[in-house]
Structure 1
Amino acid sequence: MDNIEELTRLLIEFYERFSSWEQGVVRETGLTLPRMHTLEIIGASGELRMKELAEKMGVTTGSLTVLVDRLVRAGLVERRPDEKDRRSIRVGLTPEGQKHFEGHHKLHLQLSQDIAGALSPEEAERFPDMLKKIMVQF
């Protein structure tokens, strides 16, 4: 690829802008970014076992336990025994956690609309498939 330097620069710039946007909208909630991401994943996936949540977040169950403990204390998530496997614990959103998820999700939907609006209809149609293809690399 001849333009690998430009692609690298653009990826870094996109990451920095996206991270800055994310930090800005999360700061207004009083939550940390990892806490909000935890709410996002649970909100999008529904109640999950701790092991499943850790895999989706790319963290160990040990570090996730600390994060979930804080979210439980804040009244945003609750733990429940798994009905099928009594050794497992499931984590779900409380009504307050659901409100945080829904508010943040609306901001993500608006951001996605803004990104799609910057593309031609054909580019916008192909963009999700291109992102999926790229994400397989991680």
Structure 2
Amino acid sequence: MPDKDHMQDRDIDLATRLTQDHHQSLKLWLRMLSCTTRIENEIRTRLRATFGITLPRFDLMAQLERHPDGLRMGELSKRMMVTGGNITGITDQLEQEKLVVRVPDPKDRRAYSVMLTPAGRRAFSDMAAVHEGWVADLLKDIPPEDKGTLIELLSQMKQHLNAADDKTT
């Protein structure tokens, strides 16, 4: 067990390293996480109740909707920030429902691209319209000017984070 003086030294050291900005940054991070989690959980519940679909399946379809020529499995994994195994499982489910199709990659016969089927495009279009309404409803009490400010501030944060990533790679 550490002696009392050692623990006191450690506490003083920690206190001297922490600034008001440390506390404020942590508070900001936790507030953003809390808001994101609450919205995500509500969307997840509504997607399942209304369309019988999971949020990851919806997200995969959203990625494919933005890329009509399809995306390779590895690219989907990277964009969705999940493992290749997760992408395979989600794709298998959507393929069984005839919402996506795997197409051999003409440049690499070992690889496949995943594309929305016409039925998948129609289903996603219907879900996306309802989804957008849900998000608008969840954020309706935030004045438009505050939304604009939040978008600008979060855009700046993203730029700073990207710049920090560029420095470490």
Tell me whether the two structures share a fold, i.e. TM-score over 0.5.
Answer: yes
Q: Work out which of the two has the higher radius of gyration on C-alpha atoms and give 1 or 2.
A: 2
Helix, strand or coil at the partner of 2:37? helix
* Identity within the alignment, %: 28
Instruction: Establish whether residue 84 from structure 1 lines up as the match of residue 111 from structure 2.
Output: no
CA RMSD of aligned residues (A): 2.8
**TM value normalised by structure 1:** 0.77
CA offset digits 1:23-72 (Å, max 9, x no partner): 22211211122212111221123311111111101122233112211111
**TM value normalised by structure 2:** 0.65
Helix, strand or coil at the partner of 2:124? helix
Q: When you count helix as a share of all residues, which structure comes out higher?
A: 2
Moved over 6 A (4+): none
Return the offset for 1:3. 4.4
52-61 or 11-20, which moves further after superposition? 11-20
Q: Which runs of 5+ in 1 are unaligned?
A: none
Measure the CA separation in 2 of the matches of 1:56 and 1:26.
21
Higher relative contact order (CA 8 A, sep 6+): 1
Measure the CA separation in 1 of the matches of 2:119 and 2:97.
9
Measure the CA separation in 2 of the matches of 1:112 and 1:58.
22
How many corresponding residue pairs?
137
Q: Which runs of 5+ in 2 are unaligned?
A: 1-20, 163-169
Distance change >3 Å, CA 100–CA 25, structure 1 → 2:
farther
